[in-house]
Amino acid sequence: MAQEWTDEPRPVRDRPDVDGLTADARSLLARYGPDARFWTNAVAAAADPARDFLATGLRGHSAHSFLTGAYVNGLDLFGELGLIAVSRDEVGVFWSTGAY
């Protein structure tokens, strides 16, 4: 979710700091433990729960949307991607919304 998922000129997999970014993501998600459950609004994840979005990028992937299409404080919201992590002790919601 550290990249724009429509027209990112340099996806995460091509960045020089890719190892640091993925290590941070793994550390963050590891806090939920081995029994955690995860949900996303990425349609492709429903077809293939083991999909490697880092390798394939997010271009062309669709997501179930919660956006209204309205302007919010002068921003045009155009896309979103989210992940919900649930463990016995806590819930994490990570959401990225594109705007211009």
b/e per residue 8-43 (b: at least 16 CB within 10 A): eeebbeeeeeeeeeeeebeeeeeebeeebeeebbbe
Cα–Cα–Cα angle for 10, 50, 27, rounded to 5 degrees: 65
Q: pTM score, two decimals?
A: 0.74
Residue type, 53: F
Tens-place pLDDT, residues 68-96: 666 677 777 777 788 899 999 999 999 88
Integer CA distances (angstroms), 90 to 27, 33, 58, in order? 15, 10, 28
Highest mean pLDDT of the ranges 9-13, 17-21, 63-67 = 17-21
DSSP secondary structure letter of residue 12: G
